[in-house]
Amino acid sequence: MEVIIKASYDEISKEAGRMVRKALLKKPNLVLGLATGSTPIGLYNELVCMHKEEGLDFSQVVTFNLDEYVGIPASHPESYHTFMERHLFSKVNVPTSNTHIPQNTTRNLEKFCEWYEQQIREVGGIDLQILGIGVNGHIGFNEPSSSLGSRTRIKTLAPSTLKVHTRDFGGDLDTVPKMAITMGVGTIMEAKQCLLLASGKSKAQAIARCVEGPITAEVPASALQMHPKAVILIDEEAASQLKRIDYYKWGYENKLRLEADSL
């Protein structure tokens, strides 16, 4: 697990943008796992800028979103379909046929989840999975107590998640969807690389439990401790409850020095 601490949200967004660009230049048909929520918006803005200003090409990229609410149509202003269209898909040249978001209106949800997993397998798996983290330690909508081996399925949202999400539904808890389709922790762990982003004090405890706590289904993000290539890219506030901040910073400085020397 590599922990990279940057000064601010802008800095993590820029660094995440650089990482995605590097992966995309290395593999133009990159299979990219995507997250929604407030955290990756800065990253998506960076990618849109790189596309417009440098011609970063998304024409061969294939995307899979982590999750989608059940019970609202894809056209709903707060659906993750609408989110992705608004922040990324309508602004870069990724073909719509290459994008995948769980279908919240499908009749047979169980079959759909199997199909989604199969689509991921058929393109050879996810190369780089972008993740946010919930204040309760969830990744995707794998709420505390989710099996660390879980696959794409329906989950009921935890009360703490519902509370946070009321911000997107005009402050009205009753209108927040209570269920979602989400990739499982096991699905996420099969991505070749994971990049988890977090910003702000409200994420500090979840980050400390994810990085330095025990690996437990109580904190689904802690499964990333077992991932061979997981990067935790956070700002100072999100890092504020970590015990080994100095070591992570020192490790990152040494890595940069090594990279500069080998140029």
What is d(CA 233, CA 130) in angstroms, rounded to the nearest whole number?
11
168 is a catalytic site residue: no
| Options 34-42, 93-101, 145-153, 247-255: segment touching ligand F6R (CB under 6 A) | 34-42
Helix (H, G, I), strand (E, B) or coil at 75: coil
Question: Which position has the token pair 């590097």?
Answer: 22
- Sequence-ordered list of residues with C-beta below 8 angstroms from that of 100, at least 6 positions apart, any chain: 62, 63, 64, 65, 116, 119
**How many alpha carbons lie under 13 Å from residue 161 in its C-beta half-sphere?**
22
Question: Among this protein's residues, is 136 annotated catalytic?
Answer: yes
Stretch that binds ligand F6R, among 113-121, 137-145, 187-195, 247-255 (CB under 6 A): 137-145
134 binds ligand F6R (CB under 6 A): yes
Asked if 35 interacts with ligand F6R (CB under 6 A), we say yes
Q: Are 218 and 148 in contact (CB under 8 A)?
A: no
- Binding mask 67-106 toward ligand F6R (x if CB under 6 A, else -) reads x---------------------------------------
Number of H helices, E strands in the chain: 9, 10
Among 17, 33, 140, 184, binds ligand F6R (CB under 6 A): 140
Q: Shortest gap between Cβ of 167 and ligand F6R (angstroms)? A: 9
At its nearest, how many Å lie between ligand F6R and the CB of residue 55?
28
The reply on whether position 39 binds ligand F6R by CB under 6 A is: yes
165 catalytic residue (yes or no):
no
Q: Does 132 bind ligand F6R (CB under 6 A)?
A: yes
Residue 198, classed as helix, strand or coil, is: strand
For the chain, list the strands marked E by DSSP. 2-6, 31-34, 62-65, 67-70, 99-100, 128-131, 153-156, 179-182, 193-198, 230-235
Q: Which stretch binds ligand F6R (CB under 6 A): 95-103, 128-136, 185-193, 231-239?
A: 128-136
Q: Is 45 a catalytic residue?
A: no
Q: Which residues bind ligand F6R (CB under 6 A)?
A: 35-39, 66-67, 132-134, 138-140
